[in-house]
Amino acid sequence: MNPNEFDVIIIGGGITGAGTQRDCAMRGLRTLLVERSDIATGATGRNHGLLHSGARYAVNDAESAEECIRENMILRRIAAHCIDETDGLFITLPEDDLAYQQTFVDACRKAGIGAEIIDPELAKRLEPSVNPALIGAVKVPDGSVDPFRLCAANMLDAKLHGGQVRLHTEVTRFIREGDTIKGVHTRNRQTGEEADYYAPVTVNACGIWGQHIAQLAGVKIGMFPAKGALLIFAHRVNNLVINRCRKPSNADILVPGDTVCVIGTTSTRIPFEECDHVAVTPDEVNLLITEGAKLAPSLSETRILRAYAGVRPLVSADDDPSGRNISRGIVCLDHEERDGLKGFITITGGKLMTYRLMAEMATDMVCKKLAVEKACATAETPLPGSEEKSYEAVAQKVWESPTTAQKAAASRMGTRASRIRSANRHDDDLICECEEVSVGEINAAIERLDVSTLTDLRRRTRVGMGTCQGEFCACRAAGLLAKAHGCVERERKDLADFLQERWKGNFPIGWGDTLREAEYTQWIYKHVLGI
Amino acid sequence: MGGGLAGMVAGIALQQAGKNTAIVSTGQNALHFFSGSFESLHAPSERLAELFSAAGIRVHYRDGVRLMPLGTFKDAALSLDDIDLFPSPKFGKRVLIVNFLGYHDFFSSFIAEGLEKQGMECRIRFLNLQELDKTKAHGEMRSVQIARSMDRIWEKVAQEIRLLLKDEDTVILPQVFGLSDTTVPGRIRQAIPARVVFVGTMPPSVPGIRTQMLLRKRYQLLGGTFLMGDEAIRAHEHEGVVHSIATQNLDAHYLEADNFILATGGLFSKGLRSNPFQIKEPILNLDIDCPEDRNNWYNPSFAGEQPYMGYGVKTDAQLHAVKDGIALKNVYAIGSILGNTRPELGSGAGLAIGSAFAAVDQILRCTQNDNEEPATPVILSEAKNL
């Protein structure tokens, strides 16, 4: 058997690609996933991290709402260690129409979403950070989800089922025979190494970049890049997701996640050329702060850690410039049927919330093409790490009397925390103090989760995501990576890239403590450490 | 106002000149992340050499380079004795780099790679010291915690290193020696039969904290009043002259003086503050040249020069701080609060020292002139008697 031959090749290491690989691998297919960068670098890692209850879509898009609540309940079962079951509020402020609340609740109930009108006073007790001026509140089963963790867990499970993953590997062209795609030609962007891989079916799961991949394959998909900007605050201001109870608009969702909270988003149409370099503008920052403070007034006084933006992979339906009125519906294209091109599928549209359903649809199509008859089991099978629901119970099992740092590790890794080596007493040393990440956890990630750079490591462990934004931990972690990869020179460049990446998200919000920290980082790396 | 390098140097120089001074200091300052080298200074002036020597701070300079903690080399600058200055980057043949097991703030592999590029052979070894386990049990292992132990157990460490040493001509150690006992770095050098080179760690900087303590001791010995853990919050100004300042701790007891020196530092030290619309000086609301459009504050490249780091308070030729376009007659701004508005005075530690001396000289000149003037009240009373 040729080691470069597979049953299916999946292009794209976001949540859709990772989910599709997992599903295919669980149905017994030999899978390869190629990603030109790292996992979750596109829209997957650049959103709210909101575990939608579907309530946001209930009034305008019943189909999305129903999909969301179904997947919401499934993810609680299969991805416990990636999810924080916070619940959410939809609040009505004096400037909003309270009559909308009933329309909203009726639509939620119709979609199967448990929405409950509560007394504003109770809402204030449940969520002390909420704007005390609220005149109405509805409680819904929202939550938060760590998209990096979810993506890594799907990919890991695919690997446990025999799948192969090639990160930092770009598809440069398709291998085509007549009207059939036979495989892909790839190039590793770090080593320059080129390789051909073959499979009877290739899945395009590249989000907004799917248009480009389709073009490479010789088919046309019209996509609609809509930028959404978000801000991360340095504290977990709220414990419940806070939404505005009105027609979806800008900056009306505040999501708590791990040690921080995230406000977003905006929606602006951008040209395709900008998709690789989306930047947050001062106007967007101002809008996010102003609107965010209406949900939780303390946000106007809270330090902002970062600004970032993602591009929604919407398939164009009409010429609406805001991108809000078209459904975020799932698009699964069989290019044989659509364009007469065999062996090629595109799965796009949708959202983080519905990735599993998208993966199921794509995998069903792959299986049909390969004449494989095996039912999808992803809705019932927990992801690796999620076999146990409570991270505290996990920590207890692994460490007997766990420290707070060990509990933090268990909350990130779930049952896989048992893989953290603790043979050496120095494995408990903390590398990242903000997020309490230990040497052992970092080494476990390097060993099992395809880490080649500090930024990759950040996505898998939260190293450098905290208040210091990597100022202190980047060097320490770089030392561990240099040791693991046996190459300091590469790590030196990696460290510079990591600091540049952090700065990119800092300067749009560069004032107050953020600018203080930035000045300190600049000084330390340039003048004290001598990068 | 401000007890960093600039404030301490100004305080000591004024005390030496017979002035009565007080320093208001929050406690932490840029010396806590001092590289050990005084950026932009070379051979010290006689005045600086004397000031440092009287404080027990030993400095040196030679043309050449210094080794940075990530294994790179920078041009030599006036440096503490801890820091070695080499005529060229290839300063040895075989190098033993020693770190402590479990200490992640010293970047031995980066240093080794940097030196190997220069053609030196490197060996990295870790000392596993039980004494440090206790340190760790009480919290994280960082430079200052290790340095506290080293003041006690440096002899044992030197012995362990002697055992590790094979044919190396150089031993590299982290800068975690001589926090309170300033003789320790010298004794380590004597105890090891190879050249010992101390290389910096992630802050806090042990040589920096030691320098701060020595400067403070010297200042207090000269009779200066050091108000630790306090900060100026407001100044009372009338027609271009400041009469007194209010501090956080002294409540309604204002500090009065003939002259005021603002050495409160840059953004990180909170001598300057920023919001989305402007950069401000919080005590006197001094003039700062800073573009209104925030987009101009930053260089999107981390490695590039950052415009925001250059913004500082405006001063006249004599370093009088400028407020609403008018130079305050008895307020001087020194150190990093100047940003790079006075490039002729240097940058970093060089700016701190250069501007401190300049302000001190100006104050001394002015008070001399004052003394020469006749005392006006006497004349008035004589006129009355007539």
- Residue B310's CATH number: 3.50.50.60
Check whether residue B92 and residue B168 sit in a common domain: yes
- Predicted confidence at residue A457, as pLDDT, reads 94
Within-domain flag for B39: no
**Among the three residues B202, B229, B260, which one is the final residue of a domain in this structure?**
B202
Within-domain flag for B52: no
Check whether residue B358 and residue B225 sit in a common domain: yes
Check whether residue B364 and residue B218 sit in a common domain: yes
Main-chain phi, psi angles of A26, to 5 degrees: -70, -20
CA dihedral A328, A377, A17, A177 (to 10 degrees): -110
Chain A contact for B272, CB < 8 A?
A: no
Cross-chain Cβ contact B205/A496 below 8 Å: no
User: Which residue in B68, B104, B205 is closest to A431 by CB distance?
Assistant: B104
Q: Could you give the C-alpha distances from A171 to A41, A140, A208, A209, B15, in angstroms and in order?
A: 16, 42, 15, 12, 71
Q: Chain B residue with minimal CA distance to A483?
A: B109
- Predicted confidence at residue A328, as pLDDT, reads 58
List chain A residues with pLDDT less than 70.
1, 316-328, 421-423
Question: B212: closest CA among B52, B67, B332, B39?
Answer: B52
Q: Please report the residues numbered 283 through 322 in chain B whose beta carbons come closer than 8 angstroms to any beta carbon of chain A.
A: 294-295, 297-298, 300-303, 306, 308-309
Check whether residue B255 and residue B229 sit in a common domain: yes
- Predicted confidence at residue B385, as pLDDT, reads 36
Provide, as residue numbers in chain B, all residues whose Cβ is less than 8 Å from the Cβ of A511: 274-276, 294
Distance CA B148, CA B139 (A): 13
CB A229 within 8 A of CB A241: no
Chain A contact for B340, CB < 8 A?
A: no
Chain A contact for B126, CB < 8 A?
A: no
- Predicted confidence at residue A395, as pLDDT, reads 85
User: Closest approach of chain B CAs to the CA of A515, in angstroms?
Assistant: 7
Within-domain flag for B275: yes
Main-chain phi, psi angles of B323, to 5 degrees: -125, 130
- Predicted confidence at residue A492, as pLDDT, reads 92
- Predicted confidence at residue B62, as pLDDT, reads 96
Q: Give the range of the structural domain holding residue B256, as residue numbers without chain letter.
A: 5-33+210-298+305-382
Cross-chain Cβ contact B267/A519 below 8 Å: yes
Which run of H or of E encompasses B142?
none
How many domains is chain B partitioned into structurally?
Answer: 2
Provide, as residue numbers in chain B, all residues whose Cβ is less than 8 Å from the Cβ of A476: 104-105, 202
Chain A contact for B3, CB < 8 A?
A: no
Check whether residue B231 and residue B85 sit in a common domain: no
Check whether residue B231 and residue B343 sit in a common domain: yes
Distance CA B268, CA A86 (A): 36
**Residue type present at position A333:** L
**Among the three residues B171, B186, B202, which one is the final residue of a domain in this structure?**
B202
Check whether residue B140 and residue B254 sit in a common domain: no
Cross-chain Cβ contact A511/B276 below 8 Å: yes
CATH code (residue B174): 3.40.50
User: Which residue in A510, A512, A517 is closest to B298 by CB distance?
Assistant: A510
- Predicted confidence at residue A448, as pLDDT, reads 84
CB A24 within 8 A of CB A31: yes
Q: Chain A residue with minimal CA distance to B136?
A: A429
CB A446 within 8 A of CB A492: no
Distance CA A420, CA A410 (A): 10
Whether this model's pTM surpasses 0.95: no
Provide, as residue numbers in chain A, all residues whose Cβ is less than 8 Å from the Cβ of B302: 496, 499-500, 502-503, 522
Distance CA A378, CA B287 (A): 63
Within-domain flag for B158: yes
Mutate to test the interface with A, among B37, B288, B302 (most CBs of A within 10 A): B302
- Predicted confidence at residue A397, as pLDDT, reads 82
Question: CB pairs under 8 A, 24+ apart, for A335-339?
Answer: A335/A214, A335/A217, A335/A219, A336/A369, A338/A219, A339/A219, A339/A220
List chain B residues with pLDDT less than 70.
137-139, 369-386
Distance CA B218, CA B224 (A): 9
- Predicted confidence at residue A442, as pLDDT, reads 92
Within-domain flag for B48: no
- Predicted confidence at residue A421, as pLDDT, reads 67
User: Which residue in B39, B68, B112 is closest to A529 by CB distance?
Assistant: B68
Check whether residue B170 and residue B91 sit in a common domain: yes
Q: Please report the residues numbered 60 through 89 in chain B whose beta carbons come closer than 8 angstroms to any beta carbon of chain A.
A: 68-74
- Predicted confidence at residue B350, as pLDDT, reads 94
Within-domain flag for B310: yes
Would you list the DSSP string of A180-228? EEEEEEEEETTT--EEEEE-SEEEE--GGGHHHHHHHHT----EEEEEE
- Predicted confidence at residue B377, as pLDDT, reads 32
For the record, the structure tokens of A377 come out as 């089991």
Check whether residue B16 and residue B66 sit in a common domain: no
**Among the three residues B202, B228, B245, which one is the final residue of a domain in this structure?**
B202
Check whether residue B233 and residue B171 sit in a common domain: no
